Amino acid sequence: MEKRNREARRYLRAIRGWLPCAGKMKGQMLGNIQSSLDEFLSEKPDADYQALVDRFGTPQQIASTYVDEAETGELLRLLRVRRKVVSIISAVAAALVLTWAAYVTIELVCDAYDAQTSYVNVTITEVERTPLD
């Protein structure tokens, strides 16, 4: 029983990684797939990952089937949302890199300025010469 659940979870995780849809829709699709898996595993409890792939197809094939059956408008919307998310993450990463570069540059300039404008206090102490006899 434990092996069966582990193999099914592994298979579902692989499918989840390939599906290009949003969370709610992905959850519905995975629920349908889970039902089919449970049915299959009740008939063949010793089925391993390869048996699941043989019966249902690879995770990539399942995702491909979804893309083929999905409406064009829905796919374009999903791609647009994904593009926005990637753009936002890229912009935040670029801002962080630029902020870090500015900070490092300012520190280097301040250190160089301090090195040029600093002065050294020198104390000269006069020592009397005493002859050695």
The pTM assigned to this predicted structure is: 0.52
Q: Is the pLDDT of residue 25 over 90?
A: no
Structure confidence by residue, pLDDT tens digits, 30-59: 888 888 888 988 888 888 889 899 999 999
Structure confidence by residue, pLDDT tens digits, 60-80: 998 888 777 766 777 677 777
pLDDT at 1: 42
Question: Which of the two residues, 58 and 2, has the higher pLDDT score?
Answer: 58
- Percent of the chain whose pLDDT exceeds 90: 20
The residue behind tokens 């089937």 is: 65
CA–CA dist 75, 84 (Å, integer): 14
Q: How confident is the model at residue 111 (pLDDT cuts 50, 70, 90)?
A: confident
Spell out the SS3 assignment of the chain: CHHHHHHHHHHHHHHHHHCCCCHHHHHHHHHHHHHHHHHHHHHCCCCCHHHHHHHHCCHHHHHHHHHHHCCHHHHHHHHHHHHHHHHHHHHHHHHHHHHHHHHHHHHHHHHHHHHHHCCCCCCCCCCCCCCCC
